[in-house]
Amino acid sequence: MEILYKSTHLGELKDADEKSGIVKGYGSVFGNIDSDGDIINKGAYTKTITENGNRVKYLYQHDMDKPLGKMLNLFEDEKGLVFEAQIPKTRLGLDVMELMKSGVITENSVGILPIQKEMVDGYRHINEVKLYEISAVTLAANDQAMIMDVKGNYNKEKIMKRYDNIAKLIRKGDISDDLGYALEAEILKLKSLFEKISTQPTEIEVTEPQVVNKEESPNIYQYLINSLNN
């Protein structure tokens, strides 16, 4: 299964109170056809909110290393997935609130794993998902962009860094349920990225004077294993 990112324009933002640091809005809207040809139906978030709603965090750009805040409220209404997040007055939090006010950050996006889906009239209807996080994102931001350069070339260094971050957390042991939930999401993201990379041409030019091909992917998995063993 592949983790998906579905964006909603901050035109759906209900309120962003800079003084209190509270952002209210829609993470997802029901019934519309998105750019992937998917339709998320009402009720898709009901089970995941009940089971894991307290673990869902508000992130910046789908980056686990850039948490913005925690959810105060998370529920479905007739229109979509409503969230209310508390953003502490950290440097990142203040910057993001300012970017929202100035219109630089224009979307919210959910990180979800489809659980129940069906094809109807040529469109994929998603009836149940597992929700990992909601992110404040800039226009056209997606998880793949975090490991690609501006030319769309594969950036090995960025992927290795993400593996290193996971390995460090796992080595610490005594992982809480919340951290385990976040790590599960991050691993699924990396899996999705490898699946996308494997569909690219065999030879891809990267920003460094180096060539990476599809056959190198297993070595990256071995890199993670070695990191965990060290």
Measure the CA–CA gap between 194 and 159, rounded to whole angstroms: 10
Residue-range domain boundaries for the chain: 4-141, 144-229
Backbone dihedral angles phi then psi of residue 208, each to the nearest 5 degrees: -80, 160
- This prediction's pTM: 0.68
| Beta bridge mates, 204 | 212
Residue 171 sits at φ, ψ, to 5 deg, of: -65, -25
Report the C-alpha gap between 23 and 29 in whole angstroms.
17
- In this structure, how many other beta carbons lie within 10 angstroms of the beta carbon of residue 27? 27
User: Contact, 58 vs 40, CB < 8 A?
Assistant: no
Q: What is the identity of the amino acid at 123? A: Y
pLDDT of residue 5: 85
What kind and span of H or E run contains 140?
Answer: none
Q: Which residues of the chain are under the pLDDT cut of 50?
A: 11, 140-152, 202-214, 216-217
